[in-house]
Amino acid sequence: MLEALRTRHLDFHDTAAPIAAMEVDYPHATSTGVHRHPRAQLLYAVTGVMIVRSEAGTWVVPPNRAVWLAAGLDHEVEMRGDVRIRTVFVDPQASPHLPPGNCVIAVLPLLRELIIAATRIPIDYSKNSRDERLMQLLLDELRSLDVLPLYLPMPRDARLRAICETLVHAPHDDTTAEKWAARSGITAKTLHRLFPKETGLSFAQWRQQARLLSALERLARGERIIDVALNSGYASQSAFTAMFKKHFGTTPSAFYK
């Protein structure tokens, strides 16, 4: 059954229509396995949280958010909670103003209803029909949405990648950049130079992002905020809440609401 779920998307690639949408549900803790799509993909979950991983980085995608993935990207989706996925496959040539790269976007009420409605439209919908107009409106909505900071870029440099993978699994680790550099056989100056070049973030910014995204995963599992704060490397719940609100614009308790 799970294998059938993992391959169901193949039916939605072989169509002349520029857009096709499907729905699929996964139980908690399952994974899609690593795969790719020949089309761009808008990946949205009505319920549950998706952790999308690729060589390029990791995205945490809670309800009311969606991830836009470029065509041809190898990725894997891990489920937190029972996840009801509603996804839209888009020909990259369907519009000149689609998101330029992989990103997480806000799903406002109109876009949410359009995504759900699109999953009920047959793959071979007719031109100049109501179905085509609905799909076109969906494209229009995709062009006007804000990109959200729910992405953790991973460096290609092997030395930096080893550091980052350690911090992903131990976000509370407060080892300084200077000590990480010494362990990696490079100077602190080189480490500080490479991080922005490889990830677009300074070492401190990257570690903060890693901690916040780890916190999102833990919150999605229903852990207490105080436990999440301490396990993510913050000295107190108040310090964690302040950083969380500064980064996401809302408090941890309100984020998934």
What's 197's domain CATH number?
A: 1.10.10.60
Q: How far apart are CA 72 and CA 214, in angstroms?
A: 26
Task: Verify that 130 and 244 share a domain, yes or no.
Answer: no
Do 214 and 100 fall into the same domain? no
Q: Which of 115, 148, 181 is the last residue of a domain?
A: 148
Say yes or no: 115 and 159 in one domain: no
For residue 145, is pLDDT > 80? no
> In the prediction, which pLDDT does 140 show?
87
The pLDDT value recorded for residue 238 is: 94
pLDDT band at 257 (very low <50, low <70, confident <90, very high): low
Q: What is the pLDDT of residues 98-130, one digit of tens each?
A: 887 888 888 889 999 999 999 999 988 888 999
Distance CA 90, CA 18 (A): 6
Residues 139 and 189 in one domain: no
How many angstroms separate the Cα of 16 from the Cα of each of 12, 39, 41, 73, 129?
10, 12, 16, 21, 15
Domain carrying residue 137: 2-148
Domain boundary among 98, 123, 148: 148
Instruction: Provide the pairing of β-strand 65-69 with 19-26.
Output: unpaired
How far apart CA 131 and CA 207 sit, in angstroms, is 45
One domain, residues 169 and 144 = no
| pTM attached to this predicted model | 0.76
Poorest-pLDDT segment among 32-36, 66-70, 94-98 = 94-98
